[in-house]
Structures are given as C-alpha cells and as structure tokens.
Structure 1
Amino acid sequence: MRELVMDDKNELSKVLSDPESMQYYPHPFNDEEVKNWIKWNLENYKLDKHGLWAVILKEGDTFIGDCGITMQNIDNEKLPEIGFHIIKEYWNKGYATEAASACKEYAFNVLGYSKIFSYTTLRNIPSQKVAEKIGMKTYKFFEKNGEQQIVQVTYDNEV
C-alpha cells in the first residue's frame, strides 16, 4: 500500500464510480467526487498521519483499490475506522482481508490505537465478513441516512 495521489483518479474510479461496487453507498461517485475523495485522503495524511491508501498488487504493480484508516463519525463518536474498496475483478481473492489486516496491525503497532472499528450497512455482508476475518466482533448498531448500520470492533490485546 502507498498514499493515494491525484494520478490514481482513473484507477480509483473503477471502484468508486461502479454501481455494483458502491451499492452500499448513497450513489456511485462522479469524477469530481473521486477527485474529492483523493483530496480528503491527502488532508487525512496531514491531519491524522493516516488515511485510505492505494492497494497495489506486488506482481505487476497493479492498482486494485484503496484501504486504510480514517477518522469517522460513528454514532456521534470520532473513531478510527478501517475501510476498503476493491475493484470488482479482484473480489473474492483475499485482497481486502490482507489489506485490512495490515491496516489493523498498523493501527495498533504504529499509530498506537487500542481499538479499531469498521462499520457498514446491515446489507453489506461482504464487508462484515472481511471485518470478521481480521478478528472484529459486533460492537453495536445505529442508524445513519435512514438505514441500520453495524459497527464491529477489535482491540489491541486481541491481536
């Protein structure tokens, strides 16, 4: 993984602008929203010393999505959250789990967080399964944008 750069816009659009990949978001992103996503992460790197990073396959240097830690408003608390978006042709190959696991280790061992969260709509079973694979357990539920969300958590001492 590496920091996102504006030149990643076209590759990142393959996931963030794809209706199937973004089915759990309010809508797929347009070009301006993808640019703003990258800008948001560039700001996160400065403010929080972390954000979503580009996920690059070691073989062939191929961009396959993003994954990382962002500070999210989860039920009115600002909490560190692992998020990821993988281009659908790379789904079900373990890449999201591998990247999320690396981010979890980074959160505990480098950033010093004692716990890390993930949240998504109840409908987003694939993301919940990735969270479970990296050791996350159900923490609580809350409503956002008129839809029930599930929050999962793992603690540093569970590593």
Structure 2
Amino acid sequence: MSHPAKPLIETPRLILREFELDNAFDIYKLNADPEVIRYTGDPPFETVEQARDFLNNYKDYENNGFGRWAVIKKDSNAFIGWCGLKLNEQNLIDIGFRFFRGEWNKGYATEAAKACLEYGFMDLNIKEIIGRVAMKNTASIKVLVKLAMEYWKNDSCKGIENSLYYKISKEQYLKNLKTSL
C-alpha cells in the first residue's frame, strides 16, 4: 500500500481509490466523530497509529479484488470519507459508505455508492450486492433506496439489533438501467 493509489472509479465530482497509509489521520478523524459512527457498531480508533495499523493490515484489495475505497473530491483533492464493497462475515458482498459530517446531504454517498454498484456488477461481475443499515439510520436507508435496492429482511448486524438488510441483483440492476435510459 506504499505506492500511490491509482484512481479506481471516477464520478463527475469524486475519485474513489485504494486507501494509502497517508489516509491514517483522515480515517482516525472520520471515526472520531460519534455521529459518524453512531449506527456502525464500530468503535473509534484510539490513536492515529491504530488507524495506520488498520490500513497497513487491510487486505481486502489483495484477497477479494475490491474493498472500501477512499473518496476524494476532484475539485479540492480532499479526503471526504470512504465507500465500497466488502465480503462480509456472512459471505455476502456488502456496500458501505462513511463520510465526514460536513459532507452529508450533498449527494456524495449516493454518487459514490452508485459508482461502486456499477463497478461491482459490470467490472467484477458480482451477482448480488447487499446493504445493511441500522433501522434508525434514515439517511443511509434513503441512499440504499436511491440505489434501487429492495428491502430484504431484518437481522442484527455487528451488534446492532433490528438492522435492515437491502439487496439488488445484477439482473435487477441491468433492468433498472434499461428503464432509466
């Protein structure tokens, strides 16, 4: 991860790329905001060094060919959060996103997540992608609905009881593409 990460996905306003060790402070700061991690089940990093260790040991790119990606604003080159795909503990491919509070309600989560779905289905040939969200996290639920993901079931997720599970198949994604043209 010491090489400069090449852009993986570009959208009109964003670049999504692999994390770099230089993102340790950004990741630390992101997870230090109790509102940002409120519905995630993740504890904050205790130090920047702990965030660096996390990034140094992050093997999803090598193990799966995808992972969570740093989200960079094109106009300022600023790290504003992350978005991406993950092979979760249930062996399902899950889309996730997390952004600094100052970037909320600007459409970045939807823009980045749409690009990740497209990459997952079209480039990686994934057959189905799920999204998991705490029932009280209405903003993230809205993003999943905008992605045309459909409610699937209630279950717990990372210690959060009554989480909602959404999913979309590649077949449904392609059907939605045709009808939106």
TM-score, structure 2 length as denominator? 0.80
Using the alignment, how far apart are the partners of 1:114 and 1:133 within structure 2? Answer: 19
Could you tell me whether the CA contact under 8 Å between 2:134 and 2:160 is conserved in 1? Answer: no
What is aligned with 2:3? none
Unaligned runs of 5+ in 2: 1-15, 174-181
Across the aligned residues of Structure 1 and Structure 2, the Cα RMSD in angstroms comes to 1.6
Which of structure 1's runs of 4+ aligned residues deviate more than 6 A?
Answer: none
What is aligned with 1:52? 68
- Residues 56-90 of structure 1 show CA distances to partners (whole Å, capped at 9, x for unaligned) of 011011110011001112xxx31001111111111
User: For the structure 1 residues 37 and 137, does the alpha-carbon distance in structure 2 shift closer, same or farther, using more than 3 Å as the test?
Assistant: farther
What is aligned with 1:109? 122
Deviation at 1:102, TM superposition (A): 0.3
What is aligned with 1:70? 86
Deviation at 1:147, TM superposition (A): 1.2
User: For the structure 1 residues 4 and 115, does the alpha-carbon distance in structure 2 shift closer, same or farther, using more than 3 Å as the test?
Assistant: same
Larger radius of gyration: 2
Deviation at 1:146, TM superposition (A): 5.5
Residue identity in the other structure for 1:16: N
What is aligned with 2:165? 151
Residue identity in the other structure for 1:28: P
Using the alignment, how far apart are the partners of 1:35 and 1:112 within structure 2? Answer: 31
Using the alignment, how far apart are the partners of 1:132 and 1:149 within structure 2? Answer: 15
The percentage of counterpart residues that share the same residue type is 34
What is aligned with 2:25? 10
TM-score, structure 1 length as denominator? 0.90
Using the alignment, how far apart are the partners of 1:136 and 1:99 within structure 2? Answer: 15
User: For the structure 1 residues 47 and 58, does the alpha-carbon distance in structure 2 shift closer, same or farther, using more than 3 Å as the test?
Assistant: same
